[in-house]
Chains A and B, each alone.
Chain A
Amino acid sequence: MTAQPITLNGKKLIILGERDGVPAPVIEQAIAGLGGEVAYAATQCFV
């Protein structure tokens, strides 16, 4: 079963990345062009 894509168009996006996971700039790059506006983006480092 194919999942329904989420709609980002017209949304304010809050991006919470992680150093050892997916950093915020990588998420921003991946979703560029999907219509959402990045309102806040941060990358955490837990060590």
Chain B
Amino acid sequence: MPTNRPVIRGAATSLAHTPTLVRYGSKPFREANARPEFLAELTRGLWGYDEACRYLPNQVFIGSQSPARLWEVEQPWFDKLAEADGGDAPFGHIMEERRFLALLACADPFKHVLLRERFWEEMGPVLAESPLTAPLASAAPALLTDAQLDVALEASGSLPLFAGGEGAPVGVVKTGHSEDEALSAAVLLENLCCKVSGALAVHELLDHVDGLGVSDVDLVLSCSEEAVGDRYQRGGGNMAKAITEFAGCDLGTGIDIKDFCAAPIPAMVIGASLVESGVFENVVVVGGGSLPKLGMKSLYHLEQGIPVLEDALSAVAVWIGRDDGRSPTVNLQAVGRHPVKAGAALDKQFRELVLEPLRRLEWGVDRLDRVVTELHNPDITVSAKAGDVAARNYKMMAAMLAMAKEIDRSDIASFARAKGVCGYAPTQGHIASGFVYVPHALREMAAGAIRNCMLVARASLFLGQMTELTDGMSVLIERNGG
């Protein structure tokens, strides 16, 4: 007997390998403005598509490797590329850059992204023959002849689009309004990258799960990190609606959920609540990729002579629907929240987000099989002197649990391996924030490896300088039928 009890019926990922867009990441863009020779250094430090496909963290991201493999292969991983690209892609594909650039133009209804005619002649058929991209490439993009492109590139504020590193631009992003910083070429590019990668994740979801057609999606919640708007309303939204439209979900609508890196968990909780209340039936929570985060640690990586590892736009989509008797349930009785009085310290945050919901359920820690938080790839952060974020989180969580007498002090060191996951996600905070693990959690529950999984997300609200607080939320997913 179907009920409105919310379950996670499927999840998918999308990774767009976009090395030539790294120059438009926030840090590289500022560095290149200060020091133009930086662009040549950056280009030399970037990987090709083949290497990106053979990189273990990327293979775990698309599900062709299990997260357990990360414990087995000694870090760092960038110098231990796999022989092959991992073959199938259980959760989604790694997209090659040229396709992604062509889709940027297809996704732009205002024609600020213009492609070189010859580039589209080459890429149009490529997009049309792939079941993943064909539905997204039905609208013809704006095209320019070589001479027209040269003129467009000269215009103030426009940004060239490259493909394959060196060589002539394959397109251009023009500014959307000469007096509006919220519609500059850089902001439009950032937002279109989020829109395209988010729509790709939605289509990976549609392609990878049974029972969800493009017309079945009635609500999309975007938990992405962009800000769509204009000079009168920066961050006005609505990325979710734009993704819904571009993905072809004509019967659906969309709303953005904002909470810095933590947004996916509030979005999942809200989505599950809307399913349980009967307001919506099939909610898709989607996080699109974040262009500003590309190359965030590139200066460190170049200094150490290692590849610039933040070279891909990552996206995740999760389908929350009504109980089908099989899919893992979202336990809305165990939502962990971060009250204002908890302050900003990590131990207090974990106390509210992990321990408090367990006590509400009258569960001991032993009943929790998996707890997942901030799975940033340590290859990226350790080399940037920021340490292993996931490992640090687990140690702090364990210290808090030990002080609360929930675990023994002697178990602190082994806590991460016992309950946790090694980091592997791109440093796109909302994706790394537990959200990335949802498809693995579903697979592990289906295989009987775990009974439950708590997703814990944290948000650095103080970065926006409206409060000194952090935020966070957690949610528990459980195997259906206990």
Contact = CB atoms under 8 A, between A and B. Distances in A.
A43 to B, nearest CB: 5
11 contacts: A19-B344, A20-B387, A20-B389, A20-B396, A23-B344, A23-B345, A23-B468, A25-B343, A45-B463, A47-B386, A47-B427
A21 to B, nearest CB: 8
Contacts of B386: 46-47
Contacts of A22: 345
Contact of B343 (A19, A20, A26, A45): A26
Contacts of B344: 19, 23, 25-26, 43
B462 interface: yes
Contacts of A26: 343-345
Interface of A: 19-20, 22-26, 43, 45-47
Contacts, number: 43
Contacts of B427: 47
B468 A25 contact: yes
A13 to B, nearest CB: 16
Given A45-B460, A45-B463, A47-B376, A20 B468 contact: no
A46 B380 CA distance: 11
A34 B214 CA distance: 62
Contact of B381 (A23, A24, A46): A46
A26 B470 CA distance: 12
Given A23-B470, A25-B468, A46 B343 contact: no
Interface of B: 343-346, 374, 376, 381, 384, 386-387, 389, 392-393, 396, 427, 429, 432, 458, 460, 462-463, 468, 470
A20 B392 contact: yes
Most B Cβ at <10 Å: residue of A22, A25, A45, A47: A47
B389 A43 contact: no
B10 to A, nearest CB: 28
B462 A20 contact: no
Q: Which 9 A-B pairs have the closest CB atoms?
A: A46-B386, A23-B344, A45-B460, A26-B345, A25-B468, A43-B462, A47-B376, A25-B344, A19-B460
Contact of A20 (B346, B384, B432): B346
B470 A47 contact: no
Given A19-B460, A20-B389, A43 B468 contact: yes
B46 to A, nearest CB: 21
Nearest to B392: A20
A43 B459 CA distance: 13
B164 to A, nearest CB: 29
Given A19-B460, A23-B468, 15 more contacts: A20-B396, A23-B343, A23-B344, A23-B462, A25-B343, A25-B344, A26-B345, A43-B460, A45-B460, A45-B463, A46-B386, A47-B376, A47-B386, A47-B427, A47-B432
Contacts of B458: 19
Given A24-B468, A26-B343, A47 B429 contact: yes
A41 B335 CA distance: 32
Contacts of B470: 19, 23
Contacts of A24: 468
Contacts of B374: 47
A19 B463 CA distance: 10
A23 B471 CA distance: 13
Question: Which residue, B343, B346, B376, B381, has most C-beta atoms of chain A within 10 A?
Answer: B346
Contacts of B429: 47
Contacts of B384: 46
A28 to B, nearest CB: 9
B393 A20 contact: yes
A25 B381 CA distance: 25
Given A19-B460, A20-B346, A26-B345, A47 B393 contact: no
B383 to A, nearest CB: 12
A43 B387 CA distance: 17
